[in-house]
Structure 1
Amino acid sequence: MTEKLTTRALNRATLHRQFLLDRVDRSACDVVEHLVGMQAQEPFSPYYGLWSRIGSFQADELGSLLLDRRVVRASLHRATIHLVTAADHARFEPLMRPFLHRRFASSPFGFVTDGLDVDEFTAAVTALLEEKPRTRREISDLLGSRWPDRDATALGYAGSFLVPSVQVPPRAVWGRSGAAAWTTAAHWLGPVGPAATIEEFVRRYLAAFGPASVKDVQTWAGMSRLKPVVEAMDLRVFTDERGRTLYDLPDAPRPDPDTPAPARFLPEFDNLLLGHDDRTRVISDEDYRRGIIIGGKPTLLVDGFVHGTWKIARDGLDVEVFRPLTRAQQADVRAEGARLLGFAGVAGDVRL
């Protein structure tokens, strides 16, 4: 008989693999790789995501990794900006490339390549980006002057989807600022190793997000037709309280559902909240309908589940909770919030 996992059991398993039950003593590079990338459309959100997961994390560590080209920002999972290690970009970008191309073809800009010599176009984009990093506006203007009969904005988007490219520093370097400028992945990262297999991709996902359904994997990656792949792999099979079939690595940890879960402050679009089709393991249906995930609000976890939102102000931390907290939970949130303010370099109080 297939073992059933409660929502709370799934919650604790996922938090453990996301390093949100206990902070870990690992490098930022190791954690980014373990998580198979971090959502990064907000340039500084990964800093807060790593702070919540690593015991001794300092912002300069991630900034140095970006400057040293050991981690990069690129359009990958779900065609959104993710922070990944350089090694994982080489492993997984080729797997996602067909999806990115299909995503562009079905976008409002897909029309721009109709009748266009794609090889000539991608060669032109590559030359422009490797001459020097360029913003999307610069790319659009330059491509528009070469193909004046086509929509320049659409050409710019086509270039970023059809040519593997990455954003370059100082964008997203802590304490600095810069426009989103792009160059080719090959130019920025140099020679790369072989691409991963889709089976390796699924295993990496399960190690960071499992147990999970096929639809969970597909939602996280932005891919489709993974069911035959997953079903053919040597994985443990479970069911959840909703009757869904879940898969997991045979030796993956699944903590006791009663394991304490401390308060955690997560940044906007943290992948904990985006890594599954069924998100009830971390947020209730009621709270999901508040629009905080789609709206990109930073979230507060209490007892492992989304319980509120937060915002750093000039004079402290404002926390909005959805339901009353016990005294112990209030103390936990205040203590963690004070540590968050220390990391952010802001003096002030935690206001609940």
Structure 2
Amino acid sequence: MALTWDDLAAASLARQFPSDPAPDLVGRLTETGPIQSQTARSPFLGLAARYPGTTREEVTEAYESGSVVRGSTIRGTVHTATPDQFAALGAATRVGQRTLWMRMLRLEHGTLEELWTATEAFATDWRSTDALEQHLHDWLVAREGRDDVTGQPAGRYLAFGHGGLVRRPVNGDWSGQGAPEYRFLPPATDPTLADAVRLHLRCHGPSSRQDVAWWSGLGLRHVDSVLDQVDGLVRDDGPDGRTYVDLAGAPAPRELAGVRLLPEFDALMCGYDPAGRVRFSEKAHLDRLWSGANGMVLAPLLVDGRITGYWRATGTAKRRPLEVTWFSRTRKPRRTELEAPVSALGAALGITVTDLSVEREVV
């Protein structure tokens, strides 16, 4: 019998919201996987939604100690991960982004591997974005006799985005959107694409080949090749005609009652191919949350394991109001259910919510 969307959701929720969580923050990030961090507050909120009681100070200390790191990796996005996870993401980044880099740089004499090695050698100490872009300019002029990319937005990304550099905020505020600086993080092991695919399945599965490809930035040909190399995978038919794969011995599916306030770019959205996100929400609701115009995402409201709205804590002050919006024809979150997630949000961001409004939106 084929899996239903509810079956897939329950299996994935068991990984993303473990019923028996690890005792420390690093273990918890290992359980649920890398957190997309285009917005700097997302790791704070994502961990607090899954592990209420997580504090701003706790996450900041993990960053400062290096037990978790942040850097530009798969799909050219920013992720927070453990060092081992970051190394696996880097392996996928170098393959998944290779065609884009080759098209933008049009190298005729040097190779991408030579550029990446030179960048890593330059960034053994912390370097600013400007310094890394100047290094890319100097390398291109020396090796290619030209520079067609620096000084442009794409050039700034190419200066640090190959998956080997971690970043930290210059102003020290890990939850803010301040300017970053970068340093090379040598991997403790030699990661492979199989490591990246296993990471995805362990934290997000069951997944279709399209889910793995979207999350990792790898082409379907690479995904198929890697899946063929991973032993012991479980395969089932899905509700959309796709085959879903998973690691053997996955945790038992679970229902998730109650309310959670998720961050922008949460794994329940970004861990899956767009067509596969309906395991957690209706397509119309997903379209409302994700703006095609600017690529930004409204912070999702999760009710009983379904994404049914969004929330905003407007402003930047330590004391601010919170607006919760639920979509028509979904269950309205009760104010009493919001007390715990609002408290978790406050502890994670170090803010006090002064007023709570709950409104319905017709979608």
Q: Which residue type is aligned with residue 42 of structure 1?
A: T
Secondary structure of the residue aligned to 2:248 is coil
Which of 205, 210, 213 is equivalent to 1:215? 210
Matched AA of 1:342 = G
The alpha-carbon deviation at position 274 of structure 1 amounts to: 0.9
1:13 to 2, 11, 36: 11
Give distance in 1, aligned partners of 2:163 and 2:17.
Answer: 34
SS at match of 1:306: strand
Query: What are the Cα deviations for residues 109-166 of structure 1, in whole angstroms up to 9, with x where unaligned?
Result: 434x444576775565345433x42332333245546739524335543332457211
Residue aligned with 1:269, SS: coil
Separation in structure 2 between the aligned mates of residue 176 and residue 330 of structure 1, nearest angstrom: 30
Structure 1 position 40, deviation (Å): 1.0
1:168 touches 1:181 (CA, 8 Å); kept in 2? yes
Change in CA separation of 1:116 and 1:197 when aligned onto 2, cut-off 3 Å: closer
**Counterpart mapping for 1:1-352 below 5 A:** 3-19=1-17, 22=19, 24-106=21-103, 109-111=104-106, 113-116=107-110, 121-122=115-116, 125-130=119-124, 132-141=125-134, 143-144=136-137, 147=141, 149-151=146-148, 152-153=150-151, 155-162=155-162, 164-170=164-170, 173-174=173-174, 178-186=178-186, 192-224=187-219, 225=221, 226-231=223-228, 233-255=231-253, 259-277=255-273, 278-292=276-290, 294-313=295-314, 314-323=319-328, 326=331, 329-331=333-335, 333-343=337-347, 344=349, 345-352=351-358
Distance in 2 of aligned mates of 1:302 and 1:161: 36
Q: Is the 8 A contact 2:40 2:175 kept in 1?
A: no
CA 1:88–1:347 in 2, change beyond 3 Å: closer, same or farther? closer
- Gaps in structure 2 of 5+ consecutive residues: 359-363
Q: 1 CA distance for matches of 2:72 and 2:10?
A: 30
- Structure 1 segments of 4 or more deviating over 6 A? none
Q: Is the 8 A contact 1:79 1:103 kept in 2?
A: no
Summarize the Cα distance change of 1:156–1:18 in structure 2 as closer, same or farther, 3 Å threshold.
same
Contact 2:120–2:164 (Cα < 8 Å) also in 1: no
Identity %: 26
SS at match of 2:288: coil
Query: Which amino acid counterpart does residue 208 of structure 2 have in structure 1?
Result: S
- Whether the aligned pair in 1 keeps the contact of 2:320 and 2:354 (CA below 8 Å) is yes
Q: 1:331 to 1:99 in 2, by over 3 A?
A: same
Q: Secondary structure at the match of 1:247?
A: strand
Counterpart contact for 1:28–1:54, Cα < 8 Å: no
Structure 2 length as normaliser, TM-score? 0.81
Q: 1:123 to 1:245 in 2, by over 3 A?
A: closer
Bigger shift: 155-164 or 313-322? 155-164
User: Is the contact made by 2:168 and 2:174 (CA closer than 8 Å) also made in structure 1?
Assistant: no
Whether the 8 Å CA contact 2:166–2:185 is kept in 1: the answer is yes
Instruction: Give the secondary structure class of the aligned counterpart of 1:56.
Output: coil
- For residues 143 and 5 of structure 1, what CA distance do their matches in structure 2 show? 49
C-alpha contact 2:322 2:353 (8 A) present in aligned 1: no
Distance change (3 Å), C-alpha of 1:135 and 1:334: same
Take 1:260 and 1:123, find their aligned partners in 2: how far apart are those partners? 45
Deviation at 1:100, TM superposition (A): 2.9
- RMSD between aligned alpha carbons? 2.9
The answer to whether the 8 Å contact 1:37/1:82 transfers is yes
Q: Which amino acid in structure 1 is aligned with residue 159 of structure 2?
A: G
Helix, strand or coil at the partner of 2:269: helix
Shift of 1:31: 1.9
- Seen in structure 2, the aligned counterparts of structure 1 residues 103 and 33 have a Cα distance that, compared at 3 Å, is farther
* 1:261 maps to amino acid: A
Match of 1:189 in 2: none
Query: How far apart, in 1, do the equivalents of 2:307 and 2:22 lie?
Result: 25
Q: What SS does structure 1 have at the residue aligned with 2:352?
A: coil
C-alpha deviation, 1:281, in angstroms: 0.6
